[in-house]
Chains A and B, each alone.
Chain A
Amino acid sequence: MDFALSPDEEADFLHILSISPEKREVFHSYMGVRAAVLMDMKSTTVPTNLDVAVLAPFTAPVAATALYSSSTRWTLKHALVASVVAMVIFGTGFVTSDLFHSKISVLNGTANPGHSVPRNELKATHPSTQILPQITGNSAQRSSPEIRTILRDRLVYVVDTLYKAPSIVRVFDTVASFIRDTVYLAKREQPVKTVRTISEVHLPGGLLPAAESFLRKIDIEIQREHLTTNPYIDLSNLGVKRTQQNMAMLSSYAFDSHHAAGIIVGQKAFAMEYYKIEKDSIYLYQQQPLLTYGGAFYRFSLPITSGIVPHALLQIGGSDVGPVFGLRLGIKVTPIPHFSLIAAANESLLAYRYKEKMFASNSLGFLYGINIQF
């Protein structure tokens, strides 16, 4: 009755039913019970209140997620609207300021770098510029004085030692002048109020001005150091050259002509001496491994003249053995643009631990290298 008869057993069972009416009747009764059970299964459904009760643990988080989603969408919507409004305002301001400046009288100058041009030597070269009228004439006419506000700006070329490309500095003089068109009074323009604003304008080039400015502040340096401190162990007996290749590469970003920061990677030999006490013996170890180290540094430069820059560099980093600190005092000479020579004295300190004891190793060396600026 669990419908697990093999074909042979099923054949036997059907044969029995075929020859015995009583057994057929019992079989039909059992099938009736089976049918009643199936009808019962079909007619019975799980009440909806039970569905709600069982699935309730999942409905609250869904509501919270929906609420969070709606609040997130609202915040995003606000952000989008604000961004669009900001872009419209910025674009409007950008366009109108450009139009405004084009109507300003501009006096252009071509003076020597580093000097501002006197006003009477300025010559207008920009197509939108006009020369301010000079007060001339011997007219006897008198007219009522008029007050006119003149926005005058002067273009002054300035070359900075750090930035190799020349920068144009625009100086805006706001002058409220009392002008008379008669020589009789012979009054000169008298500035009443002067407001000066300076904005830096870069010459247009192949790259975007911001990217170009960023790259100009980066330099790369390759250096080699000749250590003066002697190691403890006699390297010649071990067949090791005393002078190991102590080299490093630096890359820095100059914030201005004085301050710069960057990263350094290199290798240097440190004379390490450490000991341990075991039983009644003291074990003294001496070695001079060539350690690879990396770190960051800060450099302070003091330009004293064009092409010669003393500097001090403070370095902090680490190696496999322990932290490394360094101090360098040197001078940078720039014989040709973008290329400099470095000479410095370099002191380094390595801290390392052995058997719960701290040891230190210092090295003093003469350093030389080349510096390439973009």
Chain B
Amino acid sequence: MARIREGEHAAFAELYACHKQGVYLYCTRFIGYTPAAEDIFQDVFLNFLEQVRNGKCITNVKGYLLSSAHNRCLNWIRNKKYPAALDTVPEPPSIEGLPFGEQLDLDQALQKLTHEYREPLLLCEYEGYKYGEIAAMLKLPVTTVRMRIFRARQMLRAYLEPNKGVE
């Protein structure tokens, strides 16, 4: 942090190289709209740089970046796609309602999920966080996180392999 604060290019480039893949995947898979995701990706790192230069001490860099990406993605979704209230958890879509034989790719399947299911799944599968860590980040009970990830996996499995039933 001190080296970045002093303007050392190599330090920031090293940190950026470590975390850019994870943040980029999270933004693109969360929003599903690449141009907006890239804007948010850029904002996340530039905001991080500004905070460090202003003297803010950040111990958990990955957590800070993902939290910043999470908030920005939610703001984008709130302003662009979902005008309805987000505090209610909608019922998962009926797996049986899918047309027989329609197979989606992973990106399409993820976009089929609502963001309440998509977000914990991304944090678990893409970022490698444990259920407890995800619960702390999203400020949800661990059981809720476990349930949502379970349901999200079920739905993904149904979208990716529609010929197979759901247990």
B-binding residues in A (CB < 8 A): 1-2, 4, 22-23, 25-26, 29-30, 32-34, 36-37, 39-41, 44-47, 50-51, 53-55, 57-59, 61-62
Contacts and interface: CB of A to CB of B under 8 A. Distances in A.
B111 interface: no
Given A22-B167, A62-B9, A50 B28 contact: no
Contacts of A23: 167
Contact of A51 (B20, B131, B161): B20
A50 to B, nearest CB: 6
A59 B25 CA distance: 26
Contact of B106 (A4, A22, A37, A53): A37
B38 A41 contact: no
A2 B130 contact: yes
Nearest to B107: A40
B125 interface: yes
**Which of A22, A32, A34, A50 has the most chain B CB atoms closer than 10 A to its own CB?**
A50
A225 B130 CA distance: 87
A30 B153 contact: yes
A46 B131 contact: no
Contacts of A53: 42
Nearest to A62: B9
Interface residues of B, number: 33
30 contacts: A1-B149, A1-B153, A2-B124, A2-B130, A4-B130, A22-B167, A29-B157, A30-B157, A32-B161, A33-B153, A34-B125, A37-B106, A41-B126, A44-B21, A44-B24, A46-B20, A46-B41, A50-B20, A50-B24, A50-B38, A50-B41, A54-B16, A54-B42, A55-B12, A55-B13, A55-B16, A58-B7, A58-B9, A59-B9, A61-B7
B80 interface: no
A57 B157 contact: no
Contacts of A62: 9
Contacts of B150: 1
B66 interface: no
B166 to A, nearest CB: 8
Contacts of A36: 106, 160
B21 to A, nearest CB: 6
A22 B166 CA distance: 10
Interface string B144-163: 00000110010011001100
A39 B125 CA distance: 12
B161 A29 contact: yes
Contact of A44 (B13, B25, B153): B25
Q: Dominant SS at the B interface?
A: helix
B106 A40 contact: yes
Contacts of A33: 153, 156-157, 160
A36 B42 CA distance: 26
Nearest to A56: B46
A54 B106 contact: no
B164 interface: yes
B49 interface: yes
Nearest to A47: B38
B161 A57 contact: no
B108 to A, nearest CB: 12
Contacts, number: 74
A26 to B, nearest CB: 5
Interface in B21-57: 21, 24-25, 28-29, 38, 41-42, 45-46, 49
A51 B46 CA distance: 11
Given A33-B156, A37-B106, A41-B126, 15 more contacts: A25-B164, A30-B153, A33-B153, A34-B125, A36-B106, A40-B29, A40-B107, A44-B25, A46-B20, A46-B21, A47-B38, A54-B16, A57-B46, A57-B49, A58-B13
Contacts of B167: 22-23, 26
Interface string B90-130: 00000000000000001100000000000000001110001
Contacts of B126: 37, 41
B160 A32 contact: yes
Nearest to A59: B9
Contacts of A54: 16, 20, 42, 45-46
A80 B70 CA distance: 58
Contacts of A41: 21, 25, 126
Contacts of B45: 54
Contacts of A37: 106, 125-126
B142 to A, nearest CB: 11
A225 B9 CA distance: 67
**Which of B124, B130, B149, B153 has the most chain A CB atoms closer than 10 A to its own CB?**
B153
Contacts of B38: 47, 50
Contacts of A55: 9, 12-13, 16
Contacts of B156: 33
**Which of A25, A39, A40, A45 has the most chain B CB atoms closer than 10 A to its own CB?**
A40
